[in-house]
Structure 1
Amino acid sequence: MPNSPPLFIGDLVKSRRVIYQPSSFAMQNLLYLQETGSLTAIKPHTSSRQNLSSFLFFYVLDGEGSLAYQNKTYSMKKGDCAFIDCRNKYSQSSSSQKLWSLKWVHFYGPNMSEIYSKYLERGGEPCFSLTDKKENQFEPLLDLILDTASSSSYIRDMKINEELSQLLTILMEYSWNPERAKTSNTTGLNIANVRAFIDQNFTGKISLDAVANQFNVNKSYLLRLFKQNTGLTVNNYIQQKRILMAKNELRFTNKTLDVIAQECGLEEANYFIRMFKKIEGLTPGVYRKRWGL
């Protein structure tokens, strides 16, 4: 059974927390925990931080407060969440009328900057509400992370890596907001039709310009709307379709690289090899040897 973290009672808060020391291996290779716990405010107070090599997620259990982050102040209440990059300056304040209770986790990892950028790119925001969601998946997961950090398991770092990955997966699901794109779509453009057109034509000469002309829309508008709905640019989506087809051809046929390149819309073998290696990290020839028939 995990050990219960000690209760700390100060002038401003009472809290349970675990300050975690990950291994060097975890810090170099995994998502790793820095601190996690829960707190209840005893008095109104403000906590400010900046220049921390950390990312913070917290969930408001009860009460009200606010988060000041990147020149904006977010009012928060029961059921609200925050996910922020603590390298930026931030401060969080409990309301004087309804003192809040929080559960939180501070964590980091070698690729967290890129992951957080993807979160923002998909429509994620520093603060969001769970009130319109069917199930609160965050609170039990925060409890699980706390239990793991408090345990004596010899594989705690691996378990915590898995649990933090699950947290990020859920956050990515919450960040995915194609409905925002729909509210600004005044042309009636259906992205499903755009994808169907690309799916039918990606093996030929097709580009952002060609797709915009097909649907008679401005290409900047098309690019913005497509990315809001799919998480990809039009060209990246075309590229993805071509590489996926090429991988199937490499695995399940004996066709030459020239033939595969032409059939997938990748012009010729040299360009195909460069593009494939850039995306997959290995050449088509090596991929075929590893995964082919």
Structure 2
Amino acid sequence: MNTKTILIVDDEPRTRQGLKKYLETWANGNYQIFTSSNGEEAIKLMKQHKVHILITDIRMPEITGLQMLRMAKEQCIFPVIIVISAYSEFEYAQEALRLGVINYLLKPISKKALIEAVEVAIKEVEKKERAGLIEKVVDTKLVNTNIQNLSNREPIREAIDYINKHLNNDLTQKEVADYVHLNPSYFSSLFKEHMKLTFSEYVTRRRIQRAKELLMTTNLPINDIAEESGYKTAKYFIKIFRELEGMTPSAYRKNNSERVF
């Protein structure tokens, strides 16, 4: 499991340790919680570790919380941000919102308010990760298939649904054509006309997309992923995967190690 990381940044030791204690009790070991006493230290830590949620004070010596957020943004570090402050000046809140802050808590912070803010932040992290996963596994050729007006071609829509539900089985064009009550030859030309891919190309690309999802979201061995994706042997699966993705399944998993569980 990929443990989520929370970073607390505050120059006041008492506040910093108090927030950490609250969160450690709530997290019960499910989250990794770091602390930093200043913005510079926090930036260094965020370069070394993937920080999912950043909780930071605004007013700190040397580098303010807002300056730190600008620096993080410039360096393409994008945690979900919660700002804490003893001040409620409007310009602070405005600037914080421009920098992508999702919550603004005023000191003294109650345990309830902190936990509620973190739970909202976790949902935002999960939303971002799902979006990132979709972006990584998407196959542009599948996206660009001509599925407009498929309501006028119900057999093709039914065929797509059938293929998607049976990716881990042996799938033949005749089997799917029979399922939608069409002659295999006519089904083949109709499918290519509307999908801009042959039947076999579509099935292969959907299987590899399924494999990419499994590689990123599970710890299943390559053999099992091959089977789940409809390939009888891992060797053949690896060959097809490399042809489409330019790398082996293992390399793909390693390159996309920020997995969603």
Bin for the TM-score computed over the shorter chain: 0.3 to 0.5
Higher helix share: 2
TM-score by length of 1: 0.36
Report the structure, 1 or 2, having the larger strand content: 1
- TM-score of the pair, normalised by structure 2: 0.40
